[in-house]
Structure 1
Amino acid sequence: MKRIVVLISGTGSNMLALQKACEEHKIAGRIVAVVSNKASAKGLEKAAAKGIDTDVLSHKSFASREAYDTELKTLIDSYQPDLVVLAGFMRILTGEFTRHYEGRMLNIHPSLLPKYKGINTHQRALDAGDEEHGVSVHFVTEELDGGPVVLQAKVPIFDGDSTDDLQARVHEQEHRIYPMVVNWFCQDRLKLEGGRATLEGQPLGESGYAAE
């Protein structure tokens, strides 16, 4: 059973989807800790209610991003994780931090990468007049939202959609595909090799594997 540490900054909806999959034995691992940079993150209460250890490390207590990431790395490593999962962790991570967890840190991003890196992805898709939007799970590298994509899911954009409409549609897919990818990693089927994501030894395309 792989040991998983989840980093959050908000409600923890993806963390709960992962925990539910662990409880249902759909992930060959268990969440050993949930860590947040915000004490107000609602996901911390939800994790504690599930009996998961929680920690808060506020970035406001540190003079630099580098100092914060150094302490965060020490905290995460105290749980001896096999995998670090970013689930709405709203921090830009330093290169030294991402290199430390290279090949064992995943992120979920609400767009069809490489489209719309960064924030406000739903509004940007609407403003561009796109006909579809979606979500990507990828390995974390030094490039912001630029690591190799593992799996994507697409959703349609309808006339009259608001950002809330689109976000709800994307969230539904997030909760479906993130547990799948985490399980692939926990089963040793998914790896980062030579800068590319591979599934059972086969390289995935630049946009990863598209979920139906």
Structure 2
Amino acid sequence: MLFGFIIASKISTLSDRDLEVHALAALMHDLGWDPTGELVSKDKRFEVDGANAARDFLRKEAADYGKRRLQLVWDPFALHTTGTIVFHKEPEVQAVAHGIWADIQGPARVAGNLLTWDGYNAVVAELPLLGLMNGMKKPMCYLCETKPATTIDNTVGEWGDKFVAGYDRSGKPTSDFMLASDLDGKSLLEDAN
């Protein structure tokens, strides 16, 4: 969460964001990893499970939160793994995503030197990562094992490709369905042009 606040403080277009929305979304963004099943569906991506859990929590605990603020909490959960979209959303959504990405990539991959190694190390000295990257492997593989259909079109599936025996996305990506479609009279696979 703190990395997102550090980075957002250096981006003028993010200065007017709702700080409470930013903080709540950042704090709760991994709810979709819950292995107990209380927050996790059998048929939705972990990002959507987490977004729904956060929204449900706020509806219950902060009934006056408002539809717009609920959406601003929901969006960074659902979109944080899709950088080509999330960084074009509202300031709150971008700020949360910046923090999440810095958590897993460190400052070297944050554009514009918006997070220095000194700033990163100062945060990590107070709030150690405690094996974050190794800690990600287990829930990602768990999702590939227990909800494989939700991992086909996203980065979670890459963990399955590398670490889960028998995990197979072949024939399932959207491009495979589109190439095999015969809506134009023959599939693109049959068309030499």
Q: TM-score range by the shorter chain?
A: under 0.3
TM-score w.r.t. structure 2 length? Answer: 0.26
Structure with greater Cα Rg: 2
The structure in which a higher percent of residues are strand is 1
